[in-house]
Chains A and B, each alone.
Chain A
Amino acid sequence: MTTPVVQARGIVKRYGHVTAIDHSDFELRAGEVLAVIGDNGAGKSSIVKAICGATIPDEGEILIEGKPVKFSSPIEARDMGIEIVYQNLALSPALSIADNMFTGREIRKKGWMGKILRMLDKPAMEKFARDKLTELGLMTVQSIKQPVETLSGGQRQGVAVARAAAFASKFIIMDEPTAALGVKESRKVLELIQDVRARGIPIILISHNMPHVFEVADRIHIHRLGKRLCTIDPKDYTMSDAVAFMTGAKEPPAQDAA
């Protein structure tokens, strides 16, 4: 078996008397969609935040492609090719689609205009943004220069996913990507997830929506009481099994179920 993309062992995070992560393990394999599910307060976002550097764990080790890492911020993780699609999308509504795709990693013009005047190469950025959106079948917007606030919820999600897909070389974390969307728009995002996976980029999908999880996930990481309860293959279990495991209504299978 190839080295997992992410391997975390014995992660602990305490906030005062509260233990958010309690000696939890985590594993993301190459090319897969791994769904992370769990009840509210189970700590599923905490464990994912620990992996991308948004919180710094007190104990435990994280290996990315076999190499131990210690991120102190999501920006460091991003520099390594780890992209996050936040639930609130982290887009600037008044800026254009192209500007938003390049926030924090703009392309400068070549020559003295870029070096001395630090001038942006807007045509190059717009072309790149248009290409990426077309690749993902999202070029339904009229203009790449239009502000993000004029887009629908699904289109905005599309821009955020396209941004992640364009720059991710290791993996993408998506936090509740369908939570705020309608049926049609959710479908589009699920197709996007499958598209991105087809390019070989693994995805960590945090979601409450069982039908969506069971549809796109290759494996499901069930989080309960601050640690990984088990990992299951969605083909072997039903949605009610998964819900039973995560709420503690049913004993989980052995750790290596999937």
Chain B
Amino acid sequence: MSDTTTPASKGQDFEQTLDQSDTQVASFETDQHTVLERIQHLLHNNPTLVPVIVLVISLIAFGLIAGGKFFSAFNLSLILQQVSIIGILAAAQSLIIITAGIDLSVAAIMVLMSVVMGNLAVFAGVPSGLAILVGLAGGVGAGVMNGWFITRIKLPPFITTLGTWSIFYALLLWLSGAQSIRGQDIDTNAPFLKFFGAAFNIGGARITLSALLMIVVFIVLWFMLNKTAWGRHVYAIGDDKEAADLSGIRTDRTLLSVYGLAGFVCALGGWASIGRVGSISPQSFYEGNLDSITAVVIGGISLFGGRGSIMGALFGALIVGVFRSGLRLSGVDVLWQVFAIGWLIIIAVAIDQWIRRVSA
């Protein structure tokens, strides 16, 4: 203990020359950064920048190609309206993907809960508010069920949600008798179910409440992920679950809460979808699972977990909407819309991989 007052010891014999060693840190020609390297760094620090740039470029491009009808306030608000439900699903999906998981059952949970709400409110005479609460609670339950299999039984998220996708889908066909609930029946018995279908006009733009809900969902989740300890833990788990465990995060409990919250957001999307679609159809949003993953991936959120901002998924959903609308207004066949979105996914993941290769 006496040596603590003297300067730190000089160490081993072979280290004596360290004092005279080059004090420069290995630099690898750091000031010779190419433009590409600078871009790579910038994107690494701001992963949401890619979807923002893509969104801006595609807006300009389609504005030039399709002209004024694309850039009208009406069309832009229509895009917002069209992506609102998939956007809400993408918000739920982002939560899961940030933990390095994946959820193939988001759309099934959403449609199942809209059927639950509709059956209760339209056919069983339950007050709409109560029916909606039951549906939202059911969404939490479905999400927790996914989370329970993943954290307690230790099943991979992909397999778990592949299974629950089928289970929820079968349940919703059974509950609905494979029949849609017609819009008129909802209007007469439970108009509150269509609450999010309401809209108001601002200077030619038609803003639906479902579009506003989507934006609110994203802002709330962004706050939770970035400004609370819970959010930091979600990122830490996606980054390196073992390290998160060792640094004292109760990873299983956090994961369970993530799946439960995602289920809740899906059910909220289910309520909004009734207003958006106007009826409750068991066949609707069958591809919603994959569409939500598309939005998340295009939004620059890494499928490997721990990276990306949830706001990216909002931009991702908007990019898909802009492409669909722009190509349609340019008179391009629907199949080329699908074709273009396929390329968007591949390019987005390629850019993610390239950014991850950044070093120091």
Contact = CB atoms under 8 A, between A and B. Distances in A.
A90 B360 CA distance: 19
Contact of A211 (B12, B21, B227, B230): B12
A197 interface: yes
Contacts of B233: 103-104
B4 A95 contact: no
A90 B246 contact: yes
29 contacts: A74-B248, A90-B243, A90-B246, A90-B247, A92-B236, A93-B239, A94-B307, A95-B236, A99-B236, A103-B244, A104-B247, A104-B248, A104-B249, A106-B232, A117-B227, A117-B228, A118-B228, A118-B229, A120-B227, A183-B15, A183-B18, A187-B11, A187-B18, A194-B8, A195-B8, A197-B1, A198-B4, A215-B12, A218-B1
Interface in B269-285: none
Contacts of B18: 183-184, 187
A190 B248 contact: no
Given A92-B240, A95-B239, A152-B25, 19 more contacts: A86-B246, A88-B243, A91-B240, A92-B243, A93-B239, A95-B235, A99-B232, A100-B247, A103-B244, A103-B248, A108-B229, A117-B228, A184-B18, A187-B11, A187-B18, A190-B11, A194-B3, A198-B4, A215-B11
B360 A95 contact: no
A92 B1 contact: no
Interface in A139-170: 150-152
B32 interface: no
A252 interface: no
A45 to B, nearest CB: 14
Nearest to B230: A118
Interface string B1-25: 1011000110110010010010001
B123 interface: no
**Contact count band on B:** 20 to 34
Nearest to B305: A94
B223 interface: yes
A93 B232 contact: no
A253 B247 CA distance: 39
A75 B360 contact: no
A92 B235 contact: yes
Given A99-B232, A187-B15, A215-B11, A105 B243 contact: no
Interface in A213-256: 215, 218
A78 B232 contact: no
A34 to B, nearest CB: 13
Nearest to B12: A211
